[in-house]
Amino acid sequence: MASGQQWVLVEMVQAFYEAPAYHLILEGILILWIIRLLFSKTYKLHETYKLTEREKEDLIEEWQPDLLVPLISKDHPSLKYNIVSGPPSHKIIVNGKECINFASFNFLGLLDNERVKEKALMSLKKYGVGTCGPRGFYGTFDVHLELENRLAKFMKTEEAIIYSYGFATMASAIPAYSKRGDMIFVDEAACFSIQKGLQASRSFIKYFKHNDMEDLERLLKEQELEDQKNPRKARVTRKFIVVEGMYINTADICPLPELVKLKYRYKVRIFLEESMSFGVLGEHGKGVTEHFGVNIDDIDLISANMENAVASIGGFCCGRSFVIDHQRLSGQGYCFSASLPPMLAAAAIEALNIMEEDPGIFIVLREKCKHVYKALQGIPGLKLVGEPFAPALHLQLEKSSGSRSSDMQLLRSIVDYCLERKVALTLAQYLEKEERFLTPPSIRVVVTVKQKDDDIQKAVSCIREAASVLLK
């Protein structure tokens, strides 16, 4: 060992003698430079403006934050909630007056159905109220599994997944699949739940004009050109189209067959939000896919809430197992939230039973929608927005005054007038600062199967009267 070391030392000394002079001088200078750097004072970039303790105390003293919430004036219109005493069924007591309900999304009248209530009571007797846990930790009840099976069977898909709140359904589904770097094409009139899902997903969002397939195709073509420039990136960028079956903001339907064609041409997946069309459109109430006769497997994900036609609480997504199963581990509203209370799930199952037993109610609903649509035509000063078979129509001002707040005030006065005369209507509510594309202010007119002809007659004449009195 020692001899080896000695031998290396000898070699080193020899090399030292054999090296040329400039080499040694250069090495010497470098070594001196290194020593200098090691011992010189370190120079931190922030040294120049490091604050002294005194300055920090002063800054802390001086800083005045904004108020936690800005003060709201007492007359802010959104502060005056209508108080409903008693159930919001066909006859609803609003602010003390019994009115005919044209404002709740109780399309099939299942809110006060006796069978549904019986089943909910039976479930209450067995399971109590809450589930006390998320689905992963003993919050999965046999009722939930049954509801998921029934929904999957009803929609003729492989699998369904339930959420405990309608809003959270689409808002959790979109970010589960679409991540940063992916591309989503969405309609401008998409509802707020979709907008929150898009925001949470952090993907690139491209809006196309409402129901304008040409605009969508143009965007898709542009994206295709981009992809050709960068094929490697394109191979891992997922692309989605998010549309609603029946739009809540404009009461019309999306052109689903064209969308499916675009899907296959440009290789984009379709997510369909069917909160307003589930239990409304189609021969058996299966929604817009049945309405158009589109193969349900062509739609990657259908999401709907059970708070409209099904008159319960919660939401569901259905589709192929390949797609839906992923949400069981990555849907935030599913994994990190308590599951749906069993009595609400039981109510939903019974509602599904009723829907399956009697597809005639959908025909009745459609007839009533057509009736209301025709009756509300031609009111001077108001225009009706929506399809003839849409159950939730919008009445907008024919000529806007230019300012949104005065339009809202006018419409509110019409609503108040009708409330006085025992017809319950409501203004469509939006968060003006948060919406990306704000729809013009409107009154929501909701059609349910429980409304009789003379109820509709009364409501229409009331609105007509209000319009003629208040809109000059």
Partner 1 sequence: MARTSDADLKPPSSQNGLKCDDLRKNSCHSKTEKNGPQTGVGSRQFSHDTFEQPPMYVAVMTYLGYGIVTLFGYLRDVLRAVGLEKCHVAQEREEQKDFTPLYQDFENFYTRNLYMRVRDNWNRPICSLPGPIFDLMERVSDDYNWTFRFTGRTIHNVINMGSYNYLGFAENNEDFLKTVAEKVRQYGAGVCSTRQEIGNLKIHEELEQLVADFIGVESSMIFGMGFATNSMNIPALVGKGCLIVSDELNHTSLILGARLSGATIRVFKHNNMHSLEKLLREAVCSGQPRTHRPWKKILIMVEGIYSMEGSVVRLPEIIALKKKYKAYLYLDEAHSIGAVGPSGRGVTELFNVNPADVDVMMGTFTKSFGAAGGYIAGRKELMEYLRSHSHSAVYASAMSPAITEQVMRAMKCIMGKDGTTEGIRRIRQLAENTRYFRAKLKDMGFIIYGDDDSPVVPVLLYMPGKVVAFAREMLKRKIGVVVVGFPATPITEARARFCLSASHTREMLDKVLQQMNEVGDLLCLKFSRRKRSAFPDACKGENTEADS
| Interhelix angle 453-470/360-375, nearest 10 degrees | 30
- CB of 178 vs partner 1, minimal distance in Å: 10
Among 229, 235, 360, 454, binds partner 1 (CB under 8 A): 235
- CB of 376 vs partner 1, minimal distance in Å: 19
Within residues 247-276, the interface with partner 1 by CB under 8 A covers 264, 267-269
How far CA 430 is from CA of 81, 191, 407, 423, 434, in Å, comes to 14, 10, 14, 22, 8
204-208 and 426-427 strand pairing: unpaired
Within residues 84-103, the interface with partner 1 by CB under 8 A covers 84-89, 92, 94, 101, 103
Instruction: Give the x-and-dash track for 283-322 against partner 1 (CB under 8 A).
Output: --------------x-------xxxx-xxxx------xxx
Within residues 348-387, the interface with partner 1 by CB under 8 A covers 348
The DSSP symbol for 227 reads: H
Element (H, E) at 100: strand 97-101
- Residue (14 or 85) nearer to partner 1, CB: 85
CA triple 116-118-123, angle to 5 deg: 95
Interatomic CA distance for residues 155 and 221, integer angstroms: 33
- Residue (384 or 427) nearer to partner 1, CB: 427
- CB of 443 vs partner 1, minimal distance in Å: 11
Do 306 and 350 contact (CB within 8 A), yes or no? no
- Residue (78 or 457) nearer to partner 1, CB: 78
- CB of 439 vs partner 1, minimal distance in Å: 13
* Beta strands across the sheet bearing 183-187: 159-163, 315-319, 301-305, 269-273, 239-244, 183-187, 204-208
In degrees and rounded to multiples of 5, residue 183 shows phi and psi of: -120, 130
* Beta strands across the sheet bearing 382-385: 382-385, 392-397, 442-446, 426-427
- CB of 158 vs partner 1, minimal distance in Å: 9
- CB of 19 vs partner 1, minimal distance in Å: 50
Among 44, 125, 229, 472, binds partner 1 (CB under 8 A): 125
- Where helices occur in 320-441 by DSSP H, the ranges are 321-324, 327-330, 332-335, 342-357, 360-375, 404-420
Within residues 126-145, the interface with partner 1 by CB under 8 A covers 126-133, 135-142, 144-145
- CB of 99 vs partner 1, minimal distance in Å: 10
Q: Which stretch binds partner 1 (CB under 8 A): 159-167, 359-367, 400-408, 461-469?
A: 159-167
CA triple 311-312-314, angle to 5 deg: 130
- CB of 426 vs partner 1, minimal distance in Å: 4
Q: Does 332 interact with partner 1 (rule: CB under 8 A)? A: yes
The candidate with the shortest Cα–Cα distance to 80, out of 408, 421, 314, 460, is 408
- Residue (78 or 405) nearer to partner 1, CB: 78
Within residues 163-222, the interface with partner 1 by CB under 8 A covers 164-168, 171, 177, 191-193, 196, 199-200
Within residues 17-76, the interface with partner 1 by CB under 8 A covers 51, 55-56, 59-60, 63-72, 76
Element (H, E) at 174: helix 166-177
- Residue (33 or 336) nearer to partner 1, CB: 336
- CB of 378 vs partner 1, minimal distance in Å: 26
How many residues in the shown chain lie near partner 1 by CB under 8 A? 123
| Cα radius of gyration (the chain) | 32
| Interhelix angle 192-201/166-177, nearest 10 degrees | 30
